[in-house]
Structure 1
Amino acid sequence: MVKRVRLDPIAQVSEIATNSNLLSVLLQEDLNVLKECGGRGLCATCHVYVKEGMESLSGLTKREQRTLEVITTCKPNSRLACQARVLGEGVVVELPAGMYVNAFKDIEALVGRRAEQPLLHPVTGITLVQEGKLITRSVLESVKGLDFDIQQMLAQSSQEF
Structure 2
Amino acid sequence: MPVIRILPHHEYCPEGAEITAPAGTSICEALLDNNIKIEHACDMSCACTTCHVIVRQGYESLNDAEEEEEDLLDRAWGLEPQSRLSCQAILAQSDVTVEIPKYSINHAKENH
TM-score (norm: length of structure 2): 0.82
- The answer to whether structure 1 residue 121 and structure 2 residue 105 are counterparts is yes
Aligned to 1:4: 3
The CA deviation at 1:33 is 2.0
Preserved contact between residue 64 and residue 80 of structure 1 (Cα < 8 Å): yes
Share of identical aligned residues, percent? 27
The CA deviation at 1:93 is 0.6
Larger radius of gyration: 1
Deviations 1:69-124 (A, max 9, x none): 122421111100000000121210111113xxxxxxxxxxxxxxxxxxxxx530xx
Higher relative contact order (CA 8 A, sep 6+): 2
Preserved contact between residue 53 and residue 86 of structure 2 (Cα < 8 Å): yes
5+ residue gaps, structure 1: 99-119, 123-145, 151-161
Going from structure 1 to structure 2, the CA distance change for 1:15 and 1:72 (only over 3 Å counts) comes to closer
CA distance in 2, matches of 1:72, 1:27: 21
- The answer to whether structure 1 residue 35 and structure 2 residue 33 are counterparts is no
Secondary structure of the residue that 1:48 maps to in structure 2? Answer: strand
5+ residue gaps, structure 2: 9-14
User: Mapping of 1:23-62 within 5 angstroms?
Assistant: 23-62=28-67
CA distance in 2, matches of 1:6, 1:53: 10
Runs of 4+ with deviation above 6 angstroms? none
Q: In structure 2, give the amino acid aligned to 1:7.
A: I
Q: CA RMSD in A?
A: 1.9
Aligned to 1:93: 98
Match of 1:75 among 80, 99, 104: 80
